[in-house]
Amino acid sequence: MALEMNIVDRDVTATTEAGARSQTAFAPGDVIANFVGGAEVVPAEGRVLPVTNPATGKRVRDVVLSDADDVDAAVAAARSAQREWAATSLAGRAAVMYDVRDALRRHLDDLAAVVVEENGKTFEDARGEIKRGLESIEYACGLPTNLQGGYSAEVARGVDVHSTREPIGVVGCITPFNFPVMVPLWMLANALACGNAAIVKPSEKDPGPTVMLARILTNAGVPAGVLNVVNGEAAAVNALLAHPGVAGVSFVGSTPIARHVYENGTATGKRVQALGGAKNHMVVTEAADLDAAARAAVGAAYGAGGERCMAVSVLVAVGDEVADGLVGRIRTLADGVSVGPGNEAGVDFGPLITLEHRDRVASYLDAGTEAGAEIVVDGRSHPLYTRDGYFIGPSLVDRVRPEMSVYTDEIFGPVLAVVRVRTLDEAIGLVNDNPYGNGAAIFTRDGREAREFQTSTNIGMIGVNVPIPVPVGWFSFGGWKASLFGDSHMYGDDGVRFFTRQRVVTSRWA
């Protein structure tokens, strides 16, 4: 079956210019270098890490590993370029963002191909994440309006007050493996449009798409040094957090690392937004269309192999009749989900990112069985599970209780846990008791139930008959509780506020 990916899709056609791919994409065996000051830079230490194709388990290229000296060089390049970029007129920066939008459209398929190769997701899913990133670029094209300040005349006799929003300087962007194009664009769109310079530290598991993105943006007109990429592991992250030349850090990843980034970044006086993990619930009541809810649950739980911070990982069924109806429908639909290499036609989701992660996901099925849950669909029975690559099929686990690890932990794989409750109030209590607060959804045809759910749940993003409620690019993305550290959400208005600081001028002219 074709999974419903719940992506706001528009007709964005990629038309690749002659020779464009050879200028930006990677070939097998390449070494992915840092991108600093508009050029490829290989660290002096020369240390590398293999980058593996998750569909084959084979190394396709290497990525360099950076240390504090490499981060320092990137900060120096960014600081040098940022001053002139910030002095560029609003119209001038907006024109560059329009050119960036057009360049990303031209290279959309090229970028998607590298995402498939290094991340493992399907080609259409890769195209979908780039389109969602484009929404943030399009929002940033309106920066003359987004950066408008306020003005009050005659607050006292002969005294006027006005406010402006100005860039904060050099910012660090630390991004996860699961969206190697979309999440950088979430950050970079407003960071660059507002006049900052940026240093991106992508995941070392799939760095190619982010470096390719930097090449495309620089070729489109972003001045050399305004956008830099430093590859590496924890040493590079900690160097960004400690560097006095970095004014702010934006992060998306797991909750333990988000807490580390927030605590260490703010300890050195930086502005930090750190988005962490999730355990997203989808509540289904007796008033729901069970066929529609089952289809939505399959797409939201198994799409992208469950490697999404907004994936539905818990299905909360209100009443045994609802639960039995959903489990039966989902079992049937799961049989039609196609798992395989992301570059093959008709595949619904591909491999997971690493063998270690695949085995960790599989371990929760044993843990659930030992705790008394019922494995309705076992992803380990998929024929690709024992072959090359990091594949596992969709899994459905029924009669899960809140104390089980299959419920408490963020599994980040194609595992859907079913929790049975008696009432909507019990379902809301379950959602609110969970330490995470990223997203939650309710499926119902009863407006009173929908209203109660959206006003009573302690969650940052709510879906009503929408299983993955990721806001469009002119709103903002972010959760509550242990899903967010800091007080700023990602992209949209919150993104503008995070990457700028306000100046207020009070003036009197005699």
What DSSP string describes 97-133? HHHHHHHHHHTHHHHHHHHHHHH---HHHHHHHHHHH
What pairing do the DSSP bridges indicate for beta strands 312-318 and 280-284?
Answer: parallel
CB 65 within 8 A of CB 45: yes
pLDDT at position 3, please?
Answer: 63
State whether 92 and 238 are in the same domain: yes
State whether 454 and 498 are in the same domain: no
As a whole number of angstroms, the distance between CA 83 and CA 396 comes to: 54
In a domain, 183, yes or no: yes
The string of pLDDT tens digits covering residues 222-274 is 999 999 999 999 999 999 999 999 999 999 999 999 999 999 999 999 999 99
State whether 196 and 145 are in the same domain: yes
Residue 16 is classified by DSSP as P
As a whole number of angstroms, the distance between CA 409 and CA 280 comes to: 11
Counting the structural domains of the chain, the total is: 2
Helices (H), 194-311: 208-219, 234-242, 255-267, 290-302
In a domain, 4, yes or no: no
Mean pLDDT, all residues of the chain: 94
Please report which helix (H) or strand (E) contains residue 433, including its range. Answer: helix 424-433
Kindly state the average pLDDT of the residues 190-217: 98
pLDDT at position 60, please?
Answer: 96
Catalytic residue among 141, 173, 194, 309: 309
The string of pLDDT tens digits covering residues 139-182 is 999 988 889 889 999 999 999 999 999 999 999 999 999 999 99
In a domain, 469, yes or no: no
44 pLDDT band, cuts 50/70/90, is: confident
Give, in order, the Cα–Cα distances in Å from 44 to each of 31, 33, 73, 253: 14, 11, 12, 29
State whether 425 and 442 are in the same domain: yes
State whether 227 and 272 are in the same domain: yes
Residue 403 is classified by DSSP as T
Give the residue among 361, 364, 396, 362 at the shortest CA–CA distance from 377: 396
Q: What angle do CA 125, 129, 131 make, to 5 degrees?
A: 115
As a whole number of angstroms, the distance between CA 220 and CA 222 comes to: 6
State yes or no: pLDDT of 21 exceeds 80: no
State whether 55 and 103 are in the same domain: yes
The string of pLDDT tens digits covering residues 323-338 is 999 999 999 999 999 9
pLDDT at position 446, please?
Answer: 98
As a whole number of angstroms, the distance between CA 251 and CA 249 comes to: 7
Give the residue among 48, 45, 51, 38 at the shortest CA–CA distance from 70: 45
Q: Both tokens of residue 475?
A: 């709103």
What pairing do the DSSP bridges indicate for beta strands 271-275 and 48-53?
Answer: unpaired
In a domain, 253, yes or no: yes
pLDDT at position 9, please?
Answer: 42
pLDDT at position 15, please?
Answer: 43
Give the residue among 254, 281, 309 at the shortest CA–CA distance from 457: 281
Kindly state the average pLDDT of the residues 32-45: 94
Q: Both tokens of residue 109?
A: 């398929």
Give the residue among 173, 167, 353, 357 at the shortest CA–CA distance from 261: 173
Question: Residue type for 412, please?
Answer: F
As a whole number of angstroms, the distance between CA 241 and CA 264 comes to: 6
Percent of the chain beyond pLDDT 90?
91
CB 479 within 8 A of CB 278: yes
How far the first Cα of the chain sits from its last, in Å, is 74
pLDDT at position 91, please?
Answer: 95
pLDDT at position 381, please?
Answer: 97
Q: What angle do CA 341, 347, 348 make, to 5 degrees?
A: 115
Give pTM, 2 decimals. Answer: 0.93
The string of pLDDT tens digits covering residues 392-448 is 999 999 999 999 999 999 999 999 999 999 999 999 999 999 999 999 999 999 999
State yes or no: pLDDT of 28 exceeds 90: no
As a whole number of angstroms, the distance between CA 243 and CA 233 comes to: 16
Identify the domain containing residue 59 by its residue range: 20-276+483-506
As a whole number of angstroms, the distance between CA 368 and CA 280 comes to: 18
Catalytic-residue membership of 309: yes
The string of pLDDT tens digits covering residues 90-134 is 999 999 999 999 999 999 999 999 999 999 999 999 999 999 999
Kindly state the average pLDDT of the residues 210-218: 97
CATH number for the domain that contains residue 373: 3.40.309.10
Kindly state the average pLDDT of the residues 204-220: 97
State whether 289 and 421 are in the same domain: yes
Give the residue among 134, 132, 102, 116 at the shortest CA–CA distance from 25: 116
State whether 233 and 382 are in the same domain: no
pLDDT at position 45, please?
Answer: 84
The string of pLDDT tens digits covering residues 290-311 is 999 999 999 999 999 999 999 9
Q: Is 421 helix (H, G, I), strand (E, B) or coil?
A: strand
State whether 246 and 343 are in the same domain: no
As a whole number of angstroms, the distance between CA 381 and CA 391 comes to: 11
More confident residue, 2 or 320: 320
CATH number for the domain that contains residue 487: 3.40.605.10
Give, in order, the Cα–Cα distances in Å from 408 to each of 284, 419, 446: 20, 12, 29
As a whole number of angstroms, the distance between CA 379 and CA 393 comes to: 4
pLDDT at position 503, please?
Answer: 95
Residue 453 is classified by DSSP as H
pLDDT at position 24, please?
Answer: 66
Residue 490 is classified by DSSP as B
State whether 178 and 320 are in the same domain: no
Query: How many DSSP H helices and E strands does the chain contain?
Result: 17, 23
As a whole number of angstroms, the distance between CA 56 and CA 75 comes to: 37
State whether 166 and 181 are in the same domain: yes
CB 217 within 8 A of CB 102: no
Four-residue CA torsion sign, 148, 195, 268, 213: positive
In a domain, 472, yes or no: no
State whether 324 and 450 are in the same domain: yes
1 pLDDT band, cuts 50/70/90, is: low
As a whole number of angstroms, the distance between CA 225 and CA 173 comes to: 15
In a domain, 8, yes or no: no
Count of CB atoms within 10 A of residue 472's CB? Answer: 13
Kindly state the average pLDDT of the residues 481-494: 94
As a whole number of angstroms, the distance between CA 504 and CA 161 comes to: 7
In a domain, 473, yes or no: no
In a domain, 44, yes or no: yes
